[in-house]
Structure 1
């Protein structure tokens, strides 16, 4: 079935509250508690069964974003796919970009695949030596413990960097996440380092990089595919739709009543990224990845570039 999503504010209040409240206390989500239909309390777009595989995708249509790149003095890569028709719009979608914190969404998916909902109650210690720059949640928990659910939620919804590292540690380190993505069929993404080193984004360095196409395909596999079970997909979707870091990115120029679950990222060389699953009020979900950077190491990023590129991609798909 096609799930008709709630507005972003409704989705966040319903999806993130009751569901994560159970997880952070270490309780498993039972089928009776987990969202099951779009009309039930606490429902999320991931509550439906995985969308049926579309017909073979037509040849991707290039999205002319040269003017946008010139205006923002940046390089931008886009891959957007309508999961109902298989139509895709692309621009530099096979070029490498530093993935920055978008990797946290994939790490959360890999964690759910590894431990399941039942394993999210496991406690992990938070030590002072663990703290790295930008850790708004974990810095308040030093000397105590957090559940894996709390760690993953902090990493995805707040982009907490220490939580991101604890998430990688729970998986077995960067190499383990790299292997998990390879199991999805991803032979492009190179997971090498932890926060904050992964944000170096040095020119020509393939460490901690991926392509817009691969990033979109990986998130699609975790959120809309059958890699995860129903409960695990519902939890991941609740984290993504509950993010607090993406309001000025993919979702910024889309209709206000569409539900967007996303993970943003920023790094050196003006890197600014966002990867999202978008549930329009009608029709199948859209998966969008926008990645961007600039030539100078200390260049600032511009959220408006990502927002404009995403809006152009969705419009080119005939949606919105």
Structure 2
């Protein structure tokens, strides 16, 4: 299925379904280059079977984002879909970026899909060595007696707790299990190889622990599709994304006042990322992936890079 067909299915499902949940499953995205140079071409607006010829063309923000990349010596990847109009914004959408902790929202979605609510009340314990090995563990380190699987899932999304994430991954088959689950959605790009904190290690030119903006936007549409999760679990995931304590300086900071943002952030070294559902007061949701990395591997990540990118994209779609 071509990208216009994917867009049409997503728009139809979202407009006719629940405003923050009715999303259609995407088709497989094309193989993604590992280059870090030229901006990827925008999505084709050519019609395909089952689509109309009046689909809006991709909106070009390459000048604005190119200037931002030059100013902050960085590379920016964007894939955004306005589910009401079908409008698309893309910039380096097929290029590879490290995903860092944004992957956690998909791990938790897969847990919610696989594990019935009653089984999520299972009490899970760990050792001090587990906490130390995980690195960032604000929730699990504060609960040495353990937590339920449901509480670990919430901690992974809301607080980006690394040990909580590793325990969630363990329950769904580890990195390979999540990669296979995303592949079943049509994602041929995402490659999760390691658990936390090693999943933040990205070697230029290699696919391990990387994805593309296009793949993550398609994945987020897919996991919010009616039928992938129960309505209750979909609402639960979106609630946890609404309370994501680590995202205030990212897409939220770039969104216009009054727009709702449900997101999952990520960051390590020069990488700073956010995946989000952004809903204007009087419009349909926008599904948005922003993946960024500074060109200097020793440079710190830049929240500003994500926030300013979000502002450009949302203004273009507004």
Q: Tell me how far apart the structure 1 counterparts of residues 225 and 281 of structure 2 sit (CA, whole Å).
A: 17
Q: Tell me how far apart the structure 1 counterparts of residues 214 and 118 of structure 2 sit (CA, whole Å).
A: 32
Match for residue 142 of structure 2? Answer: 140
Aligned residue runs from structure 1 range 3-18, under 5 A: none
Q: Tell me how far apart the structure 2 counterparts of residues 137 and 103 of structure 1 sit (CA, whole Å).
A: 18
Match for residue 295 of structure 1? Answer: 295
Q: Do the aligned partners of residues 91 and 225 (structure 1) sit closer, same or farther apart at CA in structure 2, a change above 3 Å counting?
A: farther
Match for residue 42 of structure 2? Answer: none
- Report the CA distance between 1:255 and its aligned residue: 2.5
Aligned residue runs from structure 1 range 87-166, under 5 A: 87-131=87-131, 132-142=134-144, 144-166=145-167
- Residue 150 of structure 1 aligns to a residue whose secondary structure is helix
- Report the CA distance between 1:260 and its aligned residue: 0.8
Match for residue 276 of structure 1? Answer: 276
- Residue 176 of structure 2 aligns to a residue whose secondary structure is helix
Match for residue 241 of structure 2? Answer: 240
* Deviations 1:165-184 (CA, angstroms, capped at 9, x unpaired): 11111111100001111111
Q: Does 1:50 align with 2:22?
A: yes
Q: Does 1:205 align with 2:206?
A: yes
Q: Which runs of 5+ in 1 are unaligned?
A: 1-44
Q: Tell me how far apart the structure 2 counterparts of residues 258 and 120 of structure 1 sit (CA, whole Å).
A: 32
Q: Tell me how far apart the structure 1 counterparts of residues 276 and 140 of structure 2 sit (CA, whole Å).
A: 25
- The 8 Å contact of residues 223 and 236 in structure 1, kept in 2 or not, is answered as no
Match for residue 36 of structure 1? Answer: none
Q: Does 1:84 align with 2:84?
A: yes
- The 8 Å contact of residues 80 and 288 in structure 2, kept in 1 or not, is answered as yes
- Report the CA distance between 1:145 and its aligned residue: 2.2
* Deviations 1:110-166 (CA, angstroms, capped at 9, x unpaired): 111111433321222122221121100000122x22111110111110111111111
* Deviations 1:170-222 (CA, angstroms, capped at 9, x unpaired): 11110000111111111110010011111112211210100011111111222
Q: Do the aligned partners of residues 215 and 199 (structure 1) sit closer, same or farther apart at CA in structure 2, a change above 3 Å counting?
A: same
Number of aligned residues: 272
- The 8 Å contact of residues 240 and 262 in structure 1, kept in 2 or not, is answered as yes
- Residue 79 of structure 2 aligns to a residue whose secondary structure is strand
Match for residue 36 of structure 2? Answer: none
Q: Tell me how far apart the structure 2 counterparts of residues 308 and 247 of structure 1 sit (CA, whole Å).
A: 13
Q: Do the aligned partners of residues 267 and 201 (structure 1) sit closer, same or farther apart at CA in structure 2, a change above 3 Å counting?
A: farther
Q: Do the aligned partners of residues 55 and 287 (structure 1) sit closer, same or farther apart at CA in structure 2, a change above 3 Å counting?
A: farther
Match for residue 311 of structure 2? Answer: 311
Match for residue 182 of structure 1? Answer: 183
Q: Do the aligned partners of residues 48 and 98 (structure 1) sit closer, same or farther apart at CA in structure 2, a change above 3 Å counting?
A: closer
Q: Tell me how far apart the structure 2 counterparts of residues 214 and 141 of structure 1 sit (CA, whole Å).
A: 35
- Residue 202 of structure 1 aligns to a residue whose secondary structure is coil
* Deviations 1:197-249 (CA, angstroms, capped at 9, x unpaired): 11112211210100011111111222355421101101101110010000000
Q: Does 1:61 align with 2:59?
A: yes
Q: Tell me how far apart the structure 1 counterparts of residues 84 and 226 of structure 2 sit (CA, whole Å).
A: 13
Aligned Cα root-mean-square deviation (Å):
2.0
Q: Tell me how far apart the structure 2 counterparts of residues 220 and 51 of structure 1 sit (CA, whole Å).
A: 5
- Report the CA distance between 1:48 and its aligned residue: 6.5
Match for residue 16 of structure 1? Answer: none
